[in-house]
Chain A
């Protein structure tokens, strides 16, 4: 498979969130504003890319029987790094994402890519896979958070859209809004796929 294909598959065809429905926890919890969604996507993509590169380079050294613990340690290392970098350079974002940054460790997408792709492929395809999957996940987060922020707070990236008289549906940025948005997006994806056939 060509490198370009490895890159684009993560964006639509195998989008980790919408097609494979992996990594739901952060995607429902932090998508109350586009800024948070984007920040989470960036942190996630950085960890995924770094772990994919490391695992692709080490794949012949790591013994098969202890590969899962090794992957988890590698991922946890990069999550800690990202956590410290965000704490230093983006303290506001660090605060609003809170506990969901360390929880990137247990995001099934990252471990899934490590196991299914990076441990079986060489460096370049793994980089492309990491970039594509990261971009796809970020894109999905931004779509969900755009829905929720526009409907729930009447703003987009903090910019008011409807003027002072508008009364936003607060429920969309409360927990139920996360479940509803995700449910409706998945239903729409099903519908388009169904119609395309």
Chain B
């Protein structure tokens, strides 16, 4: 139980997927202009990331390792993620049109979100057990959402700030991210 707790804390705070591992920087910069859309993206990524890394773990251990074709890992995982995103999109559209409306735009974007593929591969590379892998993906997904929501909150206020012309937009966003990443570095001594 303690190990699982450590995995979650480490994934959310210490090795935050965006701020210290640079996975998923594109949506981090792209969908962080408004707090509400950041929350939507976070929810969609959490859902897909946990589902995808569960399925890819099963595929890795019961299909790829069984037939000794581990070199197909990249192709197999990306296909699983792409079809999973499509499937999730169809299910949500059918059963919860309201949720589909709020997540709709972000779902297709997740296929090319390197955080999802990254966590799936990391779970296999670190040789986590099924439960550890599950906790690691939940932790990473929470870390992603946390960083995205905090960042969106800061960016909403940046809109009102008086920023030099050449720093406006992406440059100031990246420097803000640098300061956040520095703050998260402070968690290193936590465990």
- Which residues 160-177 of B sit at the A interface, judged by CB distance below 8 A? 165-168, 170-175, 177
Known: A26-B22, A76-B78. 9 other contacts (CB 8 A): A24-B25, A80-B72, A99-B118, A103-B117, A103-B118, A171-B182, A176-B185, A177-B178, A183-B167
Q: Which residue of A lies closest to B125 (CB)?
A: A99
Q: Mark A55-88, 1 if CB is under 8 A from B, else 0.
A: 0000000000000010011001101100110000
Which among A105, A177, A187, A188 has the greatest number of chain B C-beta atoms within 10 A? A187
Residues of chain B lying within 8 A (CB to CB) of residue A28: 22, 25
Let me know if B73 is at the binding interface, CB within 8 A: yes
Using a CB-CB cutoff of 8 Å, which residues 26-45 of chain B contact chain A?
26, 29
Contacts of A76 in B (CB 8 A): 74-75, 78-79
- Chain A residues within CB distance 8 Å of chain B: 21-22, 24-26, 28-29, 69, 72-73, 76-77, 79-80, 83-84, 99, 102-103, 105-108, 111, 171, 174-180, 182-184, 186-188, 190-191, 194
Q: Is the CB of A102 within 8 A of B74?
A: yes
- At the interface, yes or no: B21 with Cβ under 8 Å from chain A? yes
Q: Secondary structure of the A side of the interface?
A: helix
Q: Chain B: which residue is nearest A111 at the CB level?
A: B112
Output the least CB separation between A37 and chain B (Å).
14
Question: Which residue in B20, B78, B174, B185 is a CB contact (below 8 Å) of A106?
Answer: B78
Closest to A192 in B: B166
Interchain residue pairs with CB less than 8 A apart (7):
A22-B26, A24-B25, A102-B74, A102-B117, A106-B114, A187-B167, A187-B172
What band does the interface of chain B fall in when counting residues whose beta carbon is under 8 Å from A?
35 or more
Majority secondary structure of chain B interface residues (helix, strand, loop or mixed):
helix
A58 to B179, alpha carbons, bound, how many Å? 46
Beta-carbon nearest neighbor of B73 in chain A: A102
Q: How far is the CA of A25 from the CA of B112 in the complex (A)?
A: 11
Q: Is the CB of B78 within 8 A of A72?
A: yes
**In-complex Cβ contact of B19 among A73, A175, A190 (8 A):** A175
Contact with A along B81-116 (1 / 0, CB 8 A): 010000000000000000000000000000111100
B25, B121, B174: the one within 8 Å of A183 (CB)? B174
Could you tell me the distance in whole angstroms from the C-beta of A17 to the nearest C-beta in chain B? 12
Interface pair B82/A187, CB less than 8 Å apart: no
Bound complex: CA A29 to CA B118 (Å): 13
